[in-house]
Structure 1
């Protein structure tokens, strides 16, 4: 069980403080759900996320409750696909029903916009009516939550698409080297740059028109399919084209999607002078060490 707790230090758990935020986030595997629900915070008013796998791949569910413990108990009985739960509330239990209805609606909205993981939620939950001040507070709560969740490896709400505000006109990207991946036989040509530790394949890059790789690289093939479903990759003749900049967690993930099969991104991505990504990385480390 993992806990990211603000304004408190429960024994044996991960603790942190983020700008004096009073939110409380508990992440637990289903196998330890009884231990998690025994915690006092599980009975607070809050929102929760269920993560797991269905027959077609990853699946998530977002809900809310005035007593999250009771809602989770029902999901243990009635939903068998999930294997992790994230409970979100505040350390002082000062969220009320209208707050969590608003948060639930916004989280579903954000998850659908990102399109990272399909939701079991049916319709878009109704957003509760809050005062202007309360709405601003909930949006600030969400802003901080979106910094906290990736820290505990929950990327349901983390968009990999890079909007125009952070594409190459930004100073740090203007200075970043441009890597290329070219497969002349298949007309594939893509360019990418490093941004915040991720490899961002640039808008207009061409990828192979179909997945031809081995089924054992299922995570890459799923990402290839998901990017088409999200409209990040769209068909253009015999190829797929990136409609916007998109950040990959590794050079190999980016190379696999571009090539339509597994590929070693450390040698596939090259600079204009012929150096591979691995060469560039080694040189960068050498410079940093001097």
Structure 2
């Protein structure tokens, strides 16, 4: 799929940047409305709340480090969100997907709910609160095409608002050892080897990377606690050979956090991570930026 430039408009009905936000691509019919739970009553007074819609209830991080989401659809947003406000405790914000032309039908909404949940589970960034996702709803081919176009737009808007529900932490895994996008890390005894990619969001350690089993006494408390959460959540697991194994790609906020998780000690990730030619992440992504070879 070709990626093209886009202009997104975000409207603040109250003028407050942390209040209700309405995002849209002005040439398309889809809107996504971000509603803080504390302002739900304000949204319920807006005309958009009377439409058929798909909604995403977003919760805070769990002890395992996952963010929570619940996906639903309804022909009566006011009644459904009011019920969720009374009965569901975990969520802090709602993202509501509607049509500016009020043209979404219940059939659209059912397919979008199902498809969104599948994509959330594939991406693996958020833990969903839905339980069984049910079977794929029957949707005529022309209507399904409309739904997928709506989903594409909603993905752009929801991600732009800061909720990458459908985006994998790394879109295209790089697996060749000589690939310039990949960086590697080993301990001094060469008993473990980890592989990662530096992205616009942080540093991703790729699945099947290995980490040391024990932490050093000198590791900082924050890195130690972060590593303990990864083990407790099953993201990294003992492999029975005296090492820890990354079961999936995992995004760290910084290269140093990623290096500490792998090495079990405090580390400068900018100098520890190196490409296949031995050049450090610092050389490749900071020192040499803007310098032509």
Query: How many residues of Structure 1 are paired with residues of Structure 2 in the alignment?
Result: 276
Q: Between Structure 1 and Structure 2, which shows a larger proportion of helix residues?
A: 1
Unpaired runs of 5+ in structure 1? none
Distance in 2, matches of 1:234 and 1:46, equals: 44
TM-score (norm. length: structure 1) = 0.76
Checking the alignment, whether the CA contact within 8 Å between 1:256 and 1:262 is kept in structure 2 is yes
1:190-209 to 2 correspondence within 5 Å?
190-194=194-198, 199-202=203-206, 204-209=208-213
Q: Deviations over 1:83-102 (max 9, x none)?
A: 11111111111111111111
Q: What TM-score comes out, normalization by structure 2 length?
A: 0.76
Deviation of 1:63 after TM superposition, in Å, equals: 0.8
Q: 1:128 to 1:15 in 2, by over 3 A?
A: closer
Instruction: Report what 2:243 is aligned to.
Output: 239
* Match of residue 109 from structure 1: 118
* Aligned twin of 1:30: 37
Structure 2 contact 182–196 (Cα < 8 Å) conserved: yes
Q: CA deviation at 1:203?
A: 5.6
CA offset at residue 23 of structure 1? 0.9
> How far does the alpha carbon of each residue in 1:97-154 deviate from its partner, in whole angstroms, 9 at most, with x for none?
1111111111122222233222221221343311111112112222232222221111
Unaligned runs of 5+ in 2: 1-6, 16-20
Which residue in the other structure is 2:188 paired with? Answer: 184
State the shift of 1:161 in Å: 4.9
Query: In terms of mean alpha carbon deviation, does 262-271 or 140-149 score higher?
Result: 262-271
Q: Give me the whole-angstrom Cα distance separating, in 2, the residues matched to 1:72 and 1:124.
A: 19
With over 3 angstroms needed to count, the CA separation of the structure-2 counterparts of 1:14 and 1:100, relative to structure 1, is closer
Root mean square deviation of aligned Cα = 3.7
User: Paired residue for 1:66, among 60, 75, 89?
Assistant: 75
Q: Residue 44 of structure 1 aligns with which residue?
A: 51
